[in-house]
Every structure is written in structure tokens, then in C-alpha cells.
Amino acid sequence: MAGASEDPVVVDSSFGPAPEFLRRYDESELLGEGGMGTVASCLDRQIGRHVALKRLRSQEGENARRFVREARIQGQLEHPSVPPVYELDVDPDGAPFFTMKRVRGVTLKEALRRLKWYPERYGESYSLRRLLGAFGRVCLAVDYAHRRGVLHRDLKPANIMLGDYGEVTVIDWGIARLVGDVESDTVLCTPGYASPEQIAGRELSPASDVYALGAILFEILTLERLHPADANAAEDATLAGQLDAPSARKPDADPELDAICLRALALEPADRFSSARELYEAVESHLDGQRDAERRRALADEHAQHAMTQIRSELTLDARKTALGEIGRALTLDPGNAVALEALAALTAAPLGGLPPEVEDSLARTRHEQTRWAANVAGASYLTLFLYLPLFFWAGILNGAALVVFYVLVVGAAAITLAVGRAQRPHVGAVLLAMLLSNAAFATTTVLFGPLVLMPGLVAVNTTAYALLLDKPWRTVTIVGGIAFVLVPALVEAFGIAGTPHYAFGPQGMTVASGAIALTRAPALVLLLVGSVATVITGAFATSRMRDALGQAELRLALSAWHLRELGPRIHPPH
């Protein structure tokens, strides 16, 4: 064969008898029987070992010559996966025989049968990885034979032996031939494994054995024969190129192995792998990837188990950090790792004993940003109260001192809030002081329309804005303060402490008296209307920013929950 790196096999069919057969070989059991001869287990007394003795049953026709060729071809294939031939001779009855290594184990055919019908029992012994490894060694043995110029021509699961110690042996070289050797028995083959050109009686090449290897690989992947068991149907299907991908029979078959198998089974020899070694390398490359994937999965399991250990212990902040790191490493190695996904679900559901410093810092920055924004808005809003001065002058000022107090308090509140708006870390004391000054300013509007008209609305909106801004402990102070600024002027009015009351009640209704401006009809209505509308606008604007922030937080939470669900079916974040 062109390009062969080994010396070619040379076959000489002449031979002569050797003496002392009966004294040397002691037959113990029949191992197999075929159309041309028998194989028995014998004790070789001269060496003291058991050997397999193959004896020709009938010397009619080409049988004797074919038998001798088998022995000499097999004997010259010195490969670990080819049984070595020890002796070629004739027995006392004149029947040719040869002895070879006694191969122990089960055939690949039997292994696949066991795996198909008893997967729980034999699943580990005959795992796909182990069978593919054995298949690779068969490919190398066949490639060695090809390089010596020999075609096996009868590769099938029944002719592959799997030993108990990892040995893989290709047996039955009975119809093996040299490349280019054309003889009358060329069409001898096993339908279902033989290549199309072998069935058709055309010239054979190493690609013919590659086809048989592809049929064996198909059977390993699916636990089913490639072609029908009936010989005629198998031959017809082979010649027609009718074949399924392994995944058509077994949907979970690996796509890469699918492609390897289909290429080996191509109808045209030129479309198959160029050699059995190339087929081996394709399978080995897949196994290398599988081994790497298995190692990654094993490492992912280790990280995931470490995470679960942390979660099941006292879940301190440091333990939570460690668990998250282990989960991240596990999912990086194996995105679908069930234990890691379960750990992530458990971790998200576990209550926090305290916030991580990074989270506290982030929340603080967000609160400071919100406080600065609200302070700037409040400061600008307080300064807009000076726009009411023209209305006061239009109505007619009766008590300028009261208005001066009002605007002094307004200026103080505006100055503090604007200063808070520029501070890097706003202080809660400054915010509370601004709240007190602004509510005090609004409380002084009692001199305009009394404690029950306009003033309670102004204090309510102002208090609500600060309550939205401050943390829970200070929120109570804010609410209590707002109530006080509404309640105290009302009590003063009720008990007449301030002198002339602002309200008079009678059959005609309630009369309002102002102590600061003249309540002529037009200015009073405009002032009340503008004040009411401004209160609505200010309240809505102050709360809208908080509602936007809440909406964004809800959106982020919903997206986080969706991402967690998409990580895998085991992730169910708490609602």
C-alpha cells in the first residue's frame, strides 16, 4: 500500500507437518465452531499455557489455502490488539491447525446486548466513554493492519473481544486479504457491516473497513444495528445508502459523534475518513473534549458543594460572600450545574443578618443623591413663595410684622435646603432643621386665613415630602412635628389665646377674618386659588420622583427575578 511505513505481509502457502502433536496439546473445551473449522482451548504442555487451537474441518476447495493465509496474515500482524499466532502445523490426521493466544473476555456484541437489556447493571462497566475508548483501540489495530497492507473485511461487534483488564482484541482474520488481492471469495462478508463496494464485489480499500467501523460505532451509540438483521434487506439498504443518523434512533446522541458516524458510513469510499487512524483521532478528539467537560463538571460540583456547606452553616456575611463566590465559580465551569442552581435559590431565599458594607455604601450614596435633589427642589420651592408678595400688596397688608416673620422663616428654610443640596453627605440634622423652619413658616400663614384654611394643606405637603426623604426613626419625628404645627395653631384659635379669633360661626355660615391682609373678594379668591393649585403641584412633584425611584427599583427586582428563573428550573426566587 502506498505510503505504508511497515514492511508488507508476504504470504507463502506451502507448509509441512510437525511431530508430537498429541503429546504437546491437550484440548479442554470447544470455544467456537464455524463453516470452515473449529476453535478449541488447549493446554500447551511444552510451554505450560493455555492457547486457542484453530483446526481446519475440511480441506476441500480453497479451504486449506485460505486457512493457511489466515494464520500467516494474523501471525505477521504483531499488534497488542491482534492475537499472536504461535504455531502453524498439521495434526496426526493431516488437518491443518494453528495455535494462537487464548483471548478471554466478552465480545462487543455481548457487551452491547447486556447494556441494552440490563442498563442499571452494566451501565458503569460498559459506559459510553469506555466503549468509545475500546473502539478507538480497534481503529488503531485496523490502521496497523492497513499499513501492513491487510484488510480485515469482517469487522463487526462479534469479532471484537473486551477483556476484564482493559484488553481490546480484534479476532477472526479468516477472510482477511491483502490490499489489491482479487480472489473468487471476495464477496465473503457479513451483511449489515460490509461496505457497499464489498457487497457489490468491487475493489476494496482501507475505506471498506472504515465503513464497517462506522457501523460498529453506530451500534455503540444507539445499541441498535445500523441495517436490518435480514441479510438481503441489509444488503439492499447498504447498496442504497439508506441509513439514519444515530440521533434519529437515540435523540440524546452527541451531535459531534453523529457527524463522525455519518462520515464513516458515507456511500462513496472517497467521502469517508481517509484511514482508520483518522477515524480514531476524530473519536479521541471528542473524548478529550468530554474528559475536559467531565473535569469541569467535577470541579463545578466541588464548588457547589462548598457553597451548600456555607449555606447550611451559620450564614454570616462572610459565609454568604464565600457561598456566592463558590456558586459563581461553579456556574462558570458548568452553567447548568443543578447543585449550584439549588444553592443560588437557597441563598436568595435566606434572610440577611446584616447588609454588606458595599450595599450599605451604595444605599447611602443613593439616599444622599435623593436628599440633594429634594433639598434643591425644596429650596427653589420656598423661594417661589416671594411670588405671593404682589398678591399681598394687592389685597392690602394689615400686619407687616407677621409677613416679615413668615419670609424670614422661608429664607432660613431655603438657605438650609440649598446648602444641603450642595453637601456631599447631607446631615440629617440640617434636614430636620429645614423641616422645622419651613413648617413654622407655613404655620404663620394662620394670620392670613386662620388655622383651618390653606395652612393645614401646606404643612401636610411639606411634611409628606420630608417623610419620604428621611429614614424610619426620623420619619416619626417628622410626622409628629407636622401634626404639632397643625394642632397648636388650631388649639390657640379654639381657646382664643391669640386675641381676636379668625372664625365666626352663625346661622349664615362661617366668617373668616385675616389678621395680616384685607380680605377683599378678588385678591382673596386669587390668593386661595393660587395657593391651592401650588400646593397640589408641589405635592405631586415632590412625590413623583420617589414614585419613579420605586418603579425603577421594582423593575430591577423583576428583571433580577426573571434572570434567576432563566438560569434554570431549580431557581425560584422568593416573591
Q: Which residues are the active-site residues?
A: 154
Cα distance between residue 358 and residue 373, in whole Å: 23
Per DSSP, the three-state class of 78 is coil
**Cell 499472536 sits on residue:** 84
Which residues is 40 bridged to in the sheet? Answer: 30, 53
Q: Of 455, 420, 423, give the one whose Cα is nearest residue 434.
A: 420
Q: Please choose, from the candidates 272, 10, 241, 244, the residue with its C-alpha nearest in 3D space to the C-alpha of residue 139.
A: 272
Q: Characterise 61 by phi-psi region: left (phi > 0), alpha (psi -120 to 50), beta (else).
A: left
The amino acid that residue 411 corresponds to is: V
Other CB atoms within a 10 A radius of the CB of residue 213 amount to 27
Q: What proportions of the chain, in percent to the nearest 5, are helix, strand and coil? A: 60, 10, 30
DSSP track, 387-425: GGHHHHHHH-BS-HHHHHHHHHHHHHHHHHHHHHHH-SS
Helix (H), strand (E), coil (C) string for 194-252: CCHHHHCCCCCCHHHHHHHHHHHHHHHHHCCCCCCCCHHHHHHHHHHCCCCCHHHHCCC
Q: In this structure, are residues 461 and 535 in contact, taking their beta carbons and an 8 Å threshold?
A: yes
Lookup: cell for 282: 476524530
